[in-house]
Amino acid sequence: MAEPITMTSVSLDDLCINTIRTLSMDAIWTPSRVRCLTGEDTVAEIGTLAEARQRTSASSRAKGASSDSPPEPMQRTGRCAAGRWEAHGRVLMARSNTGTCELCKRQTSKSQMTRHIATCASSHDSAGPEQMIVQIRIDAADEPRYWLHVEARSDASLDQLDSLLRRVWLECCGHMSAFWVGQSELPKRAKIGSTLRRKGLKFTYEYDFGSTTTLTGHVLGSRSGCLGRAATRLLARNDAPEWTCEACSRPAVIVCPFCIDSGPCLFCEAHAQEHPCAKEEVYLPVVNSPRMGVCGYVG
């Protein structure tokens, strides 16, 4: 077991990513979340005390509380989980990057979708007083095959955009999330119109400070129109990538979350049953989201 540390024996500034990697979760007791930045896109965070306790008890249950096994590395980087798929040489059946407009169901390429949305969105407006509407493209960090086009009334809050992202792509068990422009975290109550309005503005969004899914946002512009009662709406999203089973060439339907970072983890039904982790009952479905295979995400 790692030497337990407390807030009295180490200052927050002393914690760097390497320290965190060698710590057992049992040792981590922080009054609030801690953010450690060590490089361009390396972000490690320790959850809240409550999260740490929850995880500690979960891992103790899994391993047996008195286990002598080495501390589980708490290696969490700011890269999108989906970025790992490529890193391990996992293959897609098709490499096309198409998406579908949610308003008219037209399918087109990622690069053409921005132009399509520019005309399609306003032709699907509600009747009513016009308001300023901001259009945003969201991409999974490091994984450009996952993308969304969304729009929001300028008086919608970041909280409302957060809800949309959770509903469409992310929500597993109510983790914390945050929006950032550069190094500045944006208040969730802030209005889209006052924070994310400038055309060309880029921002970052993180869901879950433990097993983080990182997204990048890009403000495409604004228009005048009416969304009716909705504060935000999904305009378009990428079509589901098709993954192949790593034991045969059939389509993969199951992800083994235990093996994401270490070996084959995408399987067809038959090979999932032959995989050594089958008895652990941890399998997750292959889904169209950058959070596939992470935490308890089932789509």
Chain positions contacting Zn ion, by CB under 5 A: 101, 103-104, 106, 120, 172-173, 245, 247-248, 256, 258-259, 268, 271, 277, 295
**In this complex, which beta carbon is closest to Zn ion, that of residue 22 or of residue 54?**
54
Smaller CB distance to Zn ion: residue 129 or 174? 174
With CA atoms as reference, report the closest residue to 15 among 37, 48, 31, 32.
37
Report, in Å, the least distance between residue 236 CB and Zn ion: 7
* Residue 9 beta carbon to Zn ion: minimum distance, rounded to whole angstroms: 30
**Which of 58, 104 has the CB closer to Zn ion?**
104
What are the structure tokens assigned to 53, written together?
A: 């306790």
* Least gap, CB of 253 to Zn ion (angstroms): 9
Residue number, 97 or 244, with CB nearest to Zn ion: 244
Nearer to Zn ion, 157 or 212 (CB): 212
Could you tell me which of 19, 39, 41 has the C-alpha nearest to residue 30?
19
Helix (H) or strand (E) holding 220: strand 213-225
User: How many Cα atoms occupy the beta-carbon half-sphere of 299 within 13 Å?
Assistant: 10
H helical segments located in 69-151: 83-87, 110-123
CA proximity to 190, closest of 199, 200, 203: 203
First and final C-alpha spacing in the chain: 35
Task: Report the nearest approach of Zn ion to the CB of residue 28 (Å).
Answer: 18
Q: How far is the CB of 153 from Zn ion (least distance, A)?
A: 19
Closest contact distance (angstroms) between CB of 19 and Zn ion is: 24
Q: Residue 106 is encoded by which pair of tokens?
A: 């037209």
Longest dimension (CA), the chain: 65
Q: How far is the CB of 63 from Zn ion (least distance, A)?
A: 16
Q: Which is nearer to Zn ion, 49 or 247 (CB)?
A: 247
**Among the listed residues 235, 241, 238, 217, the one whose alpha carbon sits nearest the alpha carbon of residue 149:** 235
Residues contacting 181, CB < 8 A, separation 6+? 195, 201, 202, 203, 204
Nearer to Zn ion, 104 or 118 (CB): 104
Q: How far apart are CA 136 and CA 222, in angstroms?
A: 9
